Structure 1
Amino acid sequence: MFKPLPAYIGLRYAGAQRRNDDSAGLVSFISGLSMIGLILGVALMIVVMSVMNGFDRELRERILGIMPHVTIYNGSPDVDWAQLRQQLVSDPAVLSAAEVWQVNALARRGAEVTPLLVQGVNPETITEVSNIGDFLESSSFDALLDPSEPGVVLGKGLAEKLGVEAGDYLSLIVPNNDSATGARKAARVAGFKVAQVFHSGTVLDQSLALVAWQQARTLAGGSGGAGVQLRVNEMLEANWIMRRLLQDLPRGNFYGTDWSRTHGNLYQAIQMSRNLVGLLVFLIIAIAAFNVVSTLVMVVIDKHADIAILRTMGASTRQILLTFVSQGALVGLVGAVVGGALGVLGSLTVTKLVAGLESLLGIQFLKSDVYPVDYLPSQLVWADVALVVAAGFLLSLLATLYPAFKASRVQPAAALRNE
């Protein structure tokens, strides 16, 4: 006979042997529901955690791959930016650096007007701190430097708002106020030819435009907005690195900002959403796991006579308890493992499934003007899979303790008297 005896009996109770009566059928039905609920809860938890990991990855690799970790500014027009860049990049915490001139402006095409962030870049250095080159053709940078027809590179969202595409023309407008007196002056306006429309699939498509360094300087009036963008070794330590670099620079008008100020709210929102959704799905798993309690309680009621016979044959209370723990553990193990497998499959395919559904229905669920990215990302982390499967199984195991204890307390004489 299969040993140990409690596991053998428990597995037979949980197996295919069913009597053709109403009580046995009801027990079987409820047991199946418990297992299905656990499977769905575990699978959903793994998919949700993978999607949240995907959003976190896209923030790090796409959004912060294009935007710098740190930017050091100076309001003086007399700064030697090339020398400052060399000084900053020599720091061991800095991976790379590039000059930038940032201008808040308005883009106009006919009657359409939209605000945007214009970055004046040096094509020779911008690709060292940004992966924007992954979304652009090499000829686009050359078009930015064309003196006869200065070019501009627009995000896809901006291009759609303005109704332009590569080869079209638009105007960039920068308000001009006297910072000393507050008096309004004529706005600075410059015409540009759209060199390329890039699609990064992120929120930056809705706000970012690139022009040549000198063109941005002209738009800014030669003052304000100039700086050096940095990529650092440890993204989460960007603020501390920025403060240390500012202390090492000579006294002047230097100041800085890091990604946590520009995209920190987005990062916090992703982490908060991950925790809240994870908690809610964990509660679903807990509910599904504790459905095992109702299943085993009904099994105990249905098996009163069997329990009494086992006791009269010499089975100890410990063996009876382990019998029903074994039955509940089998339900939990099957539910957690099958749910884990479905969750892994769902995590690996959810991006393509959602994209296919969008294509089939002709709608877009995620838009980069509302969400960080315009598609549903997913990143499977095996440690999360192991954690969720183990949690589902342990919760199911804990849920078996009460009905198993009640089964072990069944009195043989009282149970057989009612048969």
Structure 2
Amino acid sequence: MFRPLSLFVGLRYSKAKHKNKFVSFISMASIFGIVLGVAVLIVGLSTMNGFENALRDKLLSVIPHAELEVVKGDFEDETNILAQVRAHPGVTGASPYIVMNALLQNNIKMKALQMRAITPETETQVTAIEKYIKQGGWELLSTTDSSIILGEPVAKQLGLSVGEHVTLLLPQISSDKLRAPRKFMFTLTGTFKMGGQVDSTLGFIHINKAKEMLNLNHATGIAFKVDDVLQAQVLSREVAYSIPVYMYIKSWITSQGYLYQDIQMVKSLMYVILLLVVAVACFNIVSTLVMAVNEKRGDIAILKTMGADKWSLRAIFIVQGAFNGLVGCIFGALLGVYLAINLSSIFSTFEELLGRKLLSGDIYFIDYLPSQLDYKQVFIIAGVAFVMSVVATIYPAWTASNIEPAKELGYSH
């Protein structure tokens, strides 16, 4: 005989057709619920992983991880301070900069934005926005021809093409009276497009030109990159406290951290909500097994009279319920993995059918639905779902083991 008996009988009960069709329906519904819950949870978490990856790889590649801005004046000991920042553990690169708020004018069209005056030779240590620049890179910036690089949306809004001139208006701060803004002529030498708000709010000029415009001898800020982006806030404070200058301390967490926090919050909510969906599906197994026990009362009584102990009877129904859970978890995991791997292409096809973009690159920092499958999460989700399905079998299995053979066989007689 096939051993162990509980496994043999339990698997037979799982595959056998129920006398009551409603029991069969509930059994299939519980399996389908587990499949759906596991698959959706895998796809949902893969999407959140994709957004988190895109945030790190794209958005955080074009904005500095941390910045130090002098409160008043500029960094007089700029060279030594730069060396000190670069030498700090956890810092991978640093570059000086100057930031100013300006107004760009082309005929009657105007656009306010933040001008970032950078050092082309060292900017690549801090950001990777250069790879999003059209028609070249930072070498387009020079002080001789007052060159400027703008985002494509800004250039379009101002009606500018590469090679054309644009006027930069710089406000003059005066405590006693209003003064007309100073005007500087620049040549548009390049445009960039990386997606999101950065394209519409930022422009680049050479740091030497900014020093000339503002009558400064040194940079007013130092941007740096760290090896662990989640430690940017801590590292920026450590670096700042080691420099004897009054400074404003900034990091990507203060400016863009809400995106990361939103992703983490949605991911946590997804875990809870979708695990509850899986739990509901798993506890459909309770209904299935309770009705199965009522169907098999005579069989249970016969097994008891033949010497089957309580744990053997319990194991039969635990195996039956666990089999349903295992089938649901396996098919759910396979479906979830397939959908997660192909999610971006499926989403693109859906957009084509609708005839419109659901994620706009002008608003978000990406214009596609990202997906990053984590097989560790797949195993955890499938494992938790299976454990929940096994737990759901305990009550019906316990009920089955407490059936009294004398009563059941007496009634059948």
TM over 0.5: same fold?
Answer: yes
Structure 1: state its 5+ residue gaps: none
TM-score, length basis structure 2: 0.89
Distance in 2 between residues matched to 1:194 and 1:362, nearest whole Å? 34
Distance in 2 between residues matched to 1:201 and 1:152, nearest whole Å? 16
CA 1:196–1:334 in structure 2 vs 1: closer, same or farther (change >3 Å)? farther
Deviations 1:213-254 (A, max 9, x none): 23444666759982111112332222232222223223x443
Distance in 1 between residues matched to 2:6 and 2:121, nearest whole Å? 73
Note the 1:97-176 alignment, pairs <5 A. Answer: 97-108=94-105, 113-136=110-133, 139-145=136-142, 147-148=144-145, 150-154=147-151, 156-159=152-155, 162=158, 166=162, 170-176=166-172
Aligned to 1:59: 55
Distance in 2 between residues matched to 1:330 and 1:277, nearest whole Å? 26
Deviates further, 294-303 or 237-246: 237-246
SS at match of 1:177: coil
Distance in 1 between residues matched to 2:89 and 2:217, nearest whole Å? 30
CA 1:257–1:319 in structure 2 vs 1: closer, same or farther (change >3 Å)? same
Deviations 1:276-304 (A, max 9, x none): 12211111111111111111112112222
CA 1:27–1:258 in structure 2 vs 1: closer, same or farther (change >3 Å)? same
Aligned to 1:266: 259
Aligned to 2:233: 239
SS at match of 2:235: helix
**Structure 1 counterpart of 2:389, from 383, 387, 396:** 396
Aligned to 1:299: 292
The answer on whether the counterparts of 1:173 and 1:187 sit within 8 Å (CA) in structure 2 is yes
**Structure 2 counterpart of 1:257, from 239, 250, 263:** 250
How far 1:8 moved relative to its partner?
A: 0.7
Distance in 2 between residues matched to 1:148 and 1:386, nearest whole Å? 59
SS at match of 1:116: strand
Note the 1:314-353 alignment, pairs <5 A. Answer: 314-353=307-346
The answer on whether the counterparts of 2:96 and 2:219 sit within 8 Å (CA) in structure 1 is no
**Structure 2 counterpart of 1:96, from 83, 93, 106:** 93
CA 1:197–1:231 in structure 2 vs 1: closer, same or farther (change >3 Å)? same
How far 1:152 moved relative to its partner?
A: 1.4
How far 1:370 moved relative to its partner?
A: 4.6
Note the 1:405-416 alignment, pairs <5 A. Answer: 405-416=398-409
How far 1:259 moved relative to its partner?
A: 1.8
Note the 1:171-190 alignment, pairs <5 A. Answer: 171-178=167-174, 181=175, 183-190=177-184
Distance in 1 between residues matched to 2:13 and 2:111, nearest whole Å? 69
TM-score, length basis structure 1: 0.88
Distance in 2 between residues matched to 1:159 and 1:284, nearest whole Å? 49
Distance in 1 between residues matched to 2:108 and 2:283, nearest whole Å? 62
User: What is the aligned residue count?
Assistant: 411
SS at match of 1:65: helix
SS at match of 1:210: strand
**Structure 2 counterpart of 1:205, from 199, 214, 217:** 199
How far 1:157 moved relative to its partner?
A: 4.7
What amino acid is aligned across from residue 39 of structure 1 in structure 2?
V
Aligned-CA RMSD value: 2.7
